Amino acid sequence: MKKAILFLEDGRYFYGQALSATGDTSGEVVFNTSMTGYQEILTDPSYAGQIVAMTYPLIGNYGVNEEDVESNKIHLKGFVVKEFCRRHSNFRATKSLIDYLDENKIIAIEGIDTRALTRHIREKGAMKALISTEDLDLKSLQGKVNKAPSMEGSDWVEKVSVQEKYVWKGEERTEIKYKVAAIDCGIKFNILRILSRLGCEVHVFPAKTSAKELLAIKPDGLFVSNGPGDPAAVTYVIETLKQLFGKIPIFGICLGHQMLGLALGGKTFKLKFGHHGANHPVKHLMDGRIGITSQNHGFCVDIDSIKEGDIEIVDINLNDNTAEGLRHKKYPIISFQHHPEAAPGPHDVQYLFKYFIEMIEESKKAGKHA
């Protein structure tokens, strides 16, 4: 096993062992507290630019399979765990996690006191970090990590968005009832699977698509996806959204929600270490129900910046009282900070997709869709 180091921007470091991919990799280090779902996390485009540390210490237990992917590739920059499983066990597994990471040349480090790392991030905040299998010189590492790009202010969406628009191929038996345009900022497949199951034919567009092009397919609704990085840096999507308010029902998730918040005149701020896990309680104020949600975000819409005017907060995180969802009082716009599509995580709030369908139905009835 090759010795490797995880070096943090503030000088804290951890030694561990690398898998077969070697070299340096840098990014913002965040921790994820899900006990299951590493394959979904690895393939979630929202983690682009980040090094993810899993708090659950035993990773790889059930291998990987063909189905549980959230995109076509691994997006995160580095993977940090306590112990990789050497022999997985699951009836659906097609290969081991180690092989999967190796094949994808992902720099991964094990043998790390991930709890100490998590506590450090909790106290000091998410920060830049670097994993190296080659350079173990602390001074040199400090120099490198200082030069790594920061999350704040950087646009990661253009790196993960599709180049060409495409139509999601859903399950054959579902009846198509609606046509939906989706702005892909790093969309997770499970969102597409769910929309498709609800009867949507989803046209997935590159993030830089203009409002006019989106409307050209005459969609019944617009979906703004999750994605990586700072929402404030994705000015082009924010502009597009502004042009579409009131013209078409809009539903957003995660980064999509943040960009909607910005487009509606609100502000976003960076959380100290973000929410990354599958156990966050969220209260949906429209029906009072509490759902255990899947979350993955480093930025957040500032409640105070939008609570006046036409915006209504519809979801609240019960742990820290941050905004988890918003709705426009006049226009058919609703968005959620957490992930109703789960994958990984509980399915408690999957029902929230119904609001999108309801908005579409209403607007169809009113006959005013563009």
Contact (CB, 8 A) for 317 and 324: yes
Helices (H), the chain: 38-43, 97-103, 114-124, 138-147, 157-160, 189-197, 211-216, 235-244, 255-263, 303-306, 353-366
- The catalytic residue among 40, 254, 257, 276 is 254
Minimum Å gap between C-beta 96 and another protein is: 11
Residue 359 near residue 221 (C-beta atoms within 8 A): yes
Minimum CB distance to another protein smaller for 39 or for 132? 39
**Nearest residue (CB) to another protein, 8 versus 342:** 342
284 as an active site residue: the answer is no
| Cα–Cα distance, 213 to 243 (Å, whole number) | 12
Q: How far is the CB of 281 from another protein (least distance, A)?
A: 4
Of the listed 70, 324, 341, 369, which one is catalytic? 341
What distance in Å separates the CA atoms of residue 363 and residue 23, rounded to the nearest whole number?
53
341 is catalytic: yes
254 part of the active site: yes
> Shortest distance, CB of residue 221 to another protein, whole angstroms?
26
Shortest distance in whole angstroms from residue 223 CB to another protein: 22
Nearest residue (CB) to another protein, 58 versus 216: 58
- Between 203 and 280, whose beta carbon lies closer to another protein? 280
128 versus 280: smaller Cβ distance to another protein: 280
Compute the least distance from the CB of residue 220 to another protein, in Å: 29
3-state secondary structure 86-110: CCCCCCCCCECHHHHHHHCCCCEEE
Give whole-number Cα distances, 323 to 62, 213, 234, 267, in Å. 35, 31, 20, 12
CA 106 – CA 173 distance, rounded (Å): 37
Residues that bind another protein (CB under 8 A): 14, 31, 33-37, 39-40, 55-58, 61-62, 65, 67-68, 82-83, 85-92, 113-116, 118-119, 122, 277-281, 283, 288-290, 292, 318-319, 342-347
Torsions phi, psi of 199, nearest 5? 100, 15
Residues classed as catalytic = 254, 339, 341
